[in-house]
Every structure is written in structure tokens, then in C-alpha cells.
Structure 1
Amino acid sequence: MKHFLVESTYLVPLATLEAVRGAHRAYLQAGIDQGIVLCAGPQASGAGGVVLVRGDSQATIEAFFASDPFVREGCARYRYVEFRPVLHAPLLADWTGPA
């Protein structure tokens, strides 16, 4: 399993984001339920968001985000950074797998 930090950059004004945010969060919750998304939230700066995810490949992760309402509505673009979680809290052992 590959792990990624996914960084979004917002492309539209806050009012436009707010109109789509509920659908976006519901979509990410579905990703949590499927075991793809570990956690997600907006950046403190308000410029975008951060999502920790896992999948078989970057292509799989990109396909997941291609259906995100923020992408479909032109509200955000994503940057994918693959990383290897060699250190983690014990509570993440099942999610990260062996180091």
C-alpha cells in the first residue's frame, strides 16, 4: 500500500467553496469509510486543505480525487506527495502496515 499527503489549493472565492463544501466533506467521509482517507482538513491559512490517504498506486488516488466535488466544480486542484510512514503512533499500525 502506498501513502500520500494530498495538498489542495483553492481556486475560487470562499463563497463558492462554501456552496460545495458539504458535498466535498461527504465525499471524503466516503473515502474514510472505504479505508482510503485517514484524515482531512483545511489549512490554517485558508489557502487549501490537506488529506492523508493510501492506495495501491498514485493513479488510484488521483482517480479517487477526480470525482471529488471540489475538483468536479473547479474549486480546487491537488498535489500528491508519496511518503513512507516508517514512524507512527501505535494507533496507526493497522493503517500504515509494517514499517
Structure 2
Amino acid sequence: MFIVNLTYVKPLEEVEKHLKDHITFLNKYYASNNFICSGRKNPRDGGIILCSAKNKEEVNEIISEDPFHKNGVANYDVIEFQPTKYSEGFKEFVE
């Protein structure tokens, strides 16, 4: 399991230009069950994606498709963790 921490490196006006395509990207990986949840940080200086993937290389391949990445809008910090305690509803996401 991975936490993908996006930090915007461009003004929000530039982020907004790529938001529609970013949402399409998110939807693709929700459909493949790689993304579990995502959202904006508060204050709005980036976002968080909770991602299920085989390894960090797979996460990096996924990130490479993000329009925010392709257009240099955000930097990405990928944090791997092993869930050891979780609610019953989260169980399906843990391998």
C-alpha cells in the first residue's frame, strides 16, 4: 500500500487547467482498483492518493500518466506502508 503525496509546484490557475484530465486519470485507476481514496490537501497546496500496487515501480508507472506529472504541475512523494490494523470495511484492500 502506498500514500502518494502530491505538492503543487505551479500556481492554482495552472493546476486548474489540467484538473479535468487529472480526474480522468484518477477514474482510470479507481476502475482498476489501484486507487482507494484521494483528495485535496487543506490548505490546497496538493493532494493525497491512497494507492494499492505491487511495488513502488508500479506506482511510479501510474504517476507517469498523471497530467499533473506530465505538465510539471506537481511533485510526488511516494510512501510505502504495510497496513497492520484497519476497519473491517478496509479489509478487501489489504493483500
Q: Is TM-score (shorter-chain normalized) higher than 0.5?
A: yes
Helix, strand or coil at the partner of 1:40: strand
Structure 2: 5+ residue stretches without partners? none
1:52 aligns with 2:50: yes
Of 23, 34, 37, the residue aligned with 2:35 is 37
Match of 1:17 in 2: 15
CA distance, structure 1, for counterparts of residue 16 and residue 4 of structure 2: 20
Match of 2:90 in 1: 92
Helix, strand or coil at the partner of 1:77: strand
Shift of residue 88, structure 1, vs aligned partner: 1.0
- TM, length-normalised to structure 2: 0.96
CA distance, structure 2, for counterparts of residue 14 and residue 6 of structure 1: 19
- TM, length-normalised to structure 1: 0.92
Per-residue CA deviations over 1:10-42 (Å, capped at 9, x if unaligned) read 011111111101110110111011011001111
Shift of residue 45, structure 1, vs aligned partner: 1.1
CA distance, structure 2, for counterparts of residue 73 and residue 79 of structure 1: 17
Please tell me the residue identity of whatever aligns with 1:37.
F
1:71 aligns with 2:69: yes
Helix, strand or coil at the partner of 2:50: strand
Give RMSD over aligned pairs. Answer: 0.8
Structure 1: 5+ residue stretches without partners? none
Helix, strand or coil at the partner of 1:56: coil
Per-residue CA deviations over 1:33-79 (Å, capped at 9, x if unaligned) read 10110011110111111000011110000110011000001101100
